């Protein structure tokens, strides 16, 4: 398909472990976003990439969270020393150039459960 | 502090009638607004948007109204169909920055046959 692809769809791991979540944006989209959605809440912004660079990482909750996009397409969100409070659905979105009036297209998310 | 508020967690309407979903915002720097629809276990899907320089945008059965002075927008769906049953999120963005979306908590719409 031509949409945003996220893998894995589900991830269950133990507290303290390291996890990587992958996002494959729509081909040609230079802007890529990560959001986190907790139960009963709307998605909350984590980080924004324009090309290879993180243009805004103000939403990352702490230094256990890190994201990369080395070639300007696929992005990986990395969480170290996971905690139970990290359990949520992690959503990735992309848009053509990142201009505000271009809608962001979302993947189906990775449901992360920390035991 | 919630900058985008959807005060109704749920709404139930009869098929064929109008659904009206409401959204309020507090940040006057927001200049573009979007509605997303979300089915369970799927990502949000873009529905319709409106620029702050307009007061109405229409796309088929969906119309979004913006009242800037009241910092209020609404999504009208008419006629409502059972397939419209989903969670609807209002989102706002300030253009010229990172273009990050600020979402409300969502309203679960149920359209009864």
Q: Note whether A42 contacts B4, CB cutoff 8 Å.
A: yes
Residue B92 burial (CB count, 10 A): 24
Q: What is the pLDDT of residues B13-36, one digit of tens each?
A: 999 999 999 999 999 999 999 999
Of A91, A100, A109, the CB nearest to B93: A100
Report yes or no: A33 at the B interface, CB cutoff 8 Å.
Answer: yes
What's A86's DSSP letter? G
- Which residues in chain A are contacts of B104 at CB distance < 8 A? 42
Q: Is B94 exposed, middle or buried (0-12, 13-18, 19+ CB in 10 A)?
A: middle
% of residues, chain B, pLDDT over 90: 91
Contacts of B31 in chain A (CB under 8 A): 100
CB B54 within 8 A of CB B41: no
- Local structure of B93: helix, strand or coil: strand
**pLDDT value at residue B60:** 97
> Are B99 and A108 in contact (CB < 8 Å)?
no
Find the distance separating the first CA and the last CA of chain B, reported in whole Å.
Answer: 38
* pLDDT for A100: 67
| Dihedrals phi, psi of A105, to nearest 5 degrees | -105, 125
The pLDDT of residue A1: 53
**Sheet strands (E) in A26-109:** 31-37, 44-50, 53-56, 65-68, 75-79, 88-95, 105-106
Instruction: State mean pLDDT over A52-73.
Output: 94
Q: What is the pLDDT of residues B103-112, one digit of tens each?
A: 999 999 999 9
Predicted pLDDT of residue B97: 76
- pLDDT tens digits along A66-94: 999 999 899 999 999 999 999 999 999 99
Contact (CB<8Å) A106/B94:
no
Over residues B66-90, the pLDDT tens digits come to 999 999 999 999 999 999 999 999 9
Neighbours of B111 (CB within 10 A): 21
User: What average pLDDT does this structure show over A49-77?
Assistant: 94
**A6 pLDDT more than 80:** yes
Tell me which chain B residues have a C-beta less than 8 angstroms from the C-beta of A4.
Answer: 43
């Amino acid at each position: 398909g031509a949409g945003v692809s996220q893998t894995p769809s589900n991830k269950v791991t133990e507290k303290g472990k390291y996890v990587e979540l992958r996002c494959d944006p729509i081909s040609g989209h230079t802007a890529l976003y990560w959001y986190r959605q907790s139960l009963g809440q709307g998605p909350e912004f984590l980080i924004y990439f324009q090309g290879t660079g993180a243009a805004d990482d103000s939403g990352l909750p702490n230094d256990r969270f890190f994201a990369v996009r080395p070639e300007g397409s696929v992005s990986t969100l990395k969480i170290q020393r996971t905690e139970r409070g990290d359990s949520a659905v992690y959503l990735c979105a992309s848009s053509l150039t990142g201009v505000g009036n271009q809608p962001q297209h979302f993947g189906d998310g990775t449901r992360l459960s920390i035991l | 502090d919630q900058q985008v508020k959807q005060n109704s967690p749920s709404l139930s309407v009869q098929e064929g009638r109008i659904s009206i979903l409401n959204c309020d915002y507090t940040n006057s720097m927001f200049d573009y607004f979007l509605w997303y629809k979300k089915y369970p276990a799927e990502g949000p899907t873009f529905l319709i948007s409106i620029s702050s320089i307009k007061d109405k945008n229409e796309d088929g059965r969906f119309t979004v109204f913006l009242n800037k002075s009241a910092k209020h927008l609404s999504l009208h769906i008419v006629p409502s169909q059972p397939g419209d049953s989903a969670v609807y999120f209002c989102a706002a963005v300030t253009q010229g920055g990172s273009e990050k979306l600020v979402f409300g908590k969502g309203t679960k719409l149920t359209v009864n046959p």
